[in-house]
Amino acid sequence: MALPSILKQLQPFLDISQLEMFLSLPVLLPILLFILVQLLKLTRARGNLNLPPSPPKLPIIGNLHQVLQNLPHRSFKALSERYGPLMYVYFGNTPSLVVSSAELASQVMKTHDIAFSNRPKTIAAHILLYECKDLGNVNYGEYWRQLRKICVLELLSSKRVQSAQHVRVEEVSCLINKIRRSCLNGGAINLSEMLLAVSNNIASRCVFGRKVEEEEGEGGGNGGSKFGELTRRQMMLMTSFCFGDLYPSLKWIDVLTGFIGRLHETAAALGDLLDQVIEEHRVSLTDNDQSDKKDFVHILLQLQENGNLAIELSQDTIKAILMDMFVGGTDTTATALEWVMAELLKDPRIMKRAQEEVRGVLKGKLNIDMKDIDKMDYIKCVIKETLRLHAPVPLLVPRETAESVELNGYDIPAKTRVFVNGWAIQRDPKVWDRPEEFLPERFENNPTDYRGQDFQFIPFGAGRRGCPGMSFAIASVEYVVANLLYWFDWKLPFGVVLDMTEASGVTLQRKSPLHVVPTLYSPVPV
């Protein structure tokens, strides 16, 4: 594949308008020669290792041309069918291991979990997350253990999930009322947009104590909409292409194209807003005596004030944790909700059974509580099946080897980036019957769960680096879905064919927004 063709495929990820200008500069040839020399050094250094099978790679770009022929999780699955469930690929001269079977995922995330528990450092994460002081990107070690302890015991515990129920009730009530008003017009609504807004507001209120998606006329100048804009920009930058990540010696190209400048500009603007939020909470800290309803900022400030921690809880550490909690709880939740509703619309039989269960459990009640949802077994099966087919993060969060390790008879060098293709594993015909079909019934009377013990079903990852916010996310998804199915009947606009195409992004979103027509259901006979 010719270099211009490859660069054309990369264009959606580059975010650099000066690309064509740069390629015409006379410095291009020396740069390419430099990269070739580095690749030769790398090849010699690894000449005696028994590496896993690898697709043929091109000079300079490695296997990028093969990976970018489709969405990465799909490309990896296609390549693994040819080269095996343990496969070596190269992004530029950066080696990466791709794991595509439940058995090997168990070895990575259980048997050799410590060796695979580091995180690859990207330039965007380093700048936007305060030198990777957050839980998601910091390397495994004592600092990580203490940080995870704070997050699991203080921020994401079962008690905190329950205490956040009042936020879910209030925000979902706003969503239901907004859809009710639209029913008066009888037209279609953009449900994708609404689901993203409710997910953002639930997460932001739990984390920061305020909404980031303000309704028109709301906010009182508190910066909510600006914060939402900045967090969306941050998530876009986190997934943008960066030369320095593939070729560290070429980081100057990212400076030249303005990418580094945009990272610093966004980081500074977000940092200023977070400082403002933290200071407001610090002032009101002694006035808040409702311990069960405190947001994450208040909790972290109290921990900082008490000073009984094994690590320093600096201002930057607090800001990094807050961004982790918010980003981890927004797009992923909204994406899962959108796919749930899309799959239900695709199969009226499943939609009908799910609605009958919700309405049968509630029996005309005007308010849904978590005890009601505990009785909705089929709804839980629908959500599990959605997470199986449409895991919000299909390649999970990348790992990096902390040391050399032998895996399935192959040598895996230290500093190797590792992708566990959860999307492929959860569609593996060796494990799942009719894997491409949406069949919630497969989870009835089935102990297989997403909590990290069943490696054929790992939408939240597993092991030490599994997602600690799983319970928070599931509570929101279950509550939103139950309300949507209870209060409304749903159909597609006349003549519209449901598009189930995936799109790349921070999460595995739908390519097309979900436009639907709701009809108000009255649980109490009029």
pLDDT(14) > 70 = no
Distance CA(38)–CA(417), nearest Å, equals 18
Mean pLDDT calculated for residue range 509-525: 88
Q: Helix, strand, or coil here: 502?
A: strand
SS (H, E, C) 294-352: CCHHHHHHHHHHHCCCCCCCCHHHHHHHHHHHHHHCCHHHHHHHHHHHHHHHHCHHHHH
Distance CA(242)–CA(504), nearest Å, equals 16
| Domains of the chain and CATH, by start | 142-520 (1.10.630.10)
Q: Helix, strand, or coil here: 108?
A: helix
pLDDT confidence bin for 290, thresholds 50/70/90: low
Distances (CA, A) of 257 to 83, 91, 126, 231: 37, 20, 18, 22
**What pLDDT, on the 0 to 100 scale, is given for residue 17?**
44
**What pLDDT, on the 0 to 100 scale, is given for residue 236?**
87
149-181 pLDDT, tens digit per residue, is 999 999 999 999 999 999 999 999 999 999 999
100-129 pLDDT, tens digit per residue, is 999 999 999 999 999 999 999 999 999 999
Q: Which long-range contacts (CB under 8 A, 24 or more apart) does 143-152 make?
A: 143/311, 146/309, 146/310, 146/311, 147/311, 147/317, 147/321, 148/464, 148/468, 150/300, 150/303, 150/309, 150/313, 150/321, 151/321, 151/325, 151/468, 152/468
DSSP letters, 27-52, are THHHHHHHHHHHHHHHHHHTTTS-PP
| Rg, C-alpha atoms of the chain | 24
Q: Which backbone phi and psi does 149 adopt, to 5 degrees?
A: -60, -45
59-75 pLDDT, tens digit per residue, is 888 999 999 889 999 99
178-219 pLDDT, tens digit per residue, is 999 999 888 899 999 999 999 999 999 999 998 876 544 444
pLDDT confidence bin for 434, thresholds 50/70/90: very high
**What pLDDT, on the 0 to 100 scale, is given for residue 185?**
83
Please count the other Cβ atoms lying within 10 Å of the Cβ belonging to residue 226: 16
Q: Helix, strand, or coil here: 116?
A: coil
Percent of the chain at pLDDT exceeding 90: 73
Contact assessment for residue 241 and residue 10, using Cβ atoms and an 8 Å cutoff? yes
**What pLDDT, on the 0 to 100 scale, is given for residue 29?**
56
Mean model confidence pLDDT for the chain: 88
> Quick one: residue 471, left, alpha or beta (phi over 0 = left, psi -120 to 50 = alpha)?
alpha
Mean pLDDT calculated for residue range 472-490: 97
Percent of the chain at pLDDT exceeding 70: 87
Count H helices and E strands in the chain, helices first: 23, 11
**Residue 95: in which H helix or E strand, if any?**
strand 94-99
pLDDT confidence bin for 43, thresholds 50/70/90: low
385-417 pLDDT, tens digit per residue, is 999 999 999 999 999 999 999 999 999 999 999
| Strand-strand pairing, 509-510 and 502-503 | antiparallel
pLDDT(223) > 60 = no
Mean pLDDT calculated for residue range 485-499: 95
pLDDT confidence bin for 28, thresholds 50/70/90: low
Mean pLDDT calculated for residue range 73-91: 96
pLDDT(297) > 50 = yes
Mean pLDDT calculated for residue range 312-324: 94
Distance CA(88)–CA(176), nearest Å, equals 48
**Residue 418: in which H helix or E strand, if any?**
strand 417-420
pLDDT confidence bin for 1, thresholds 50/70/90: very low
Is residue 467 marked as binding? yes
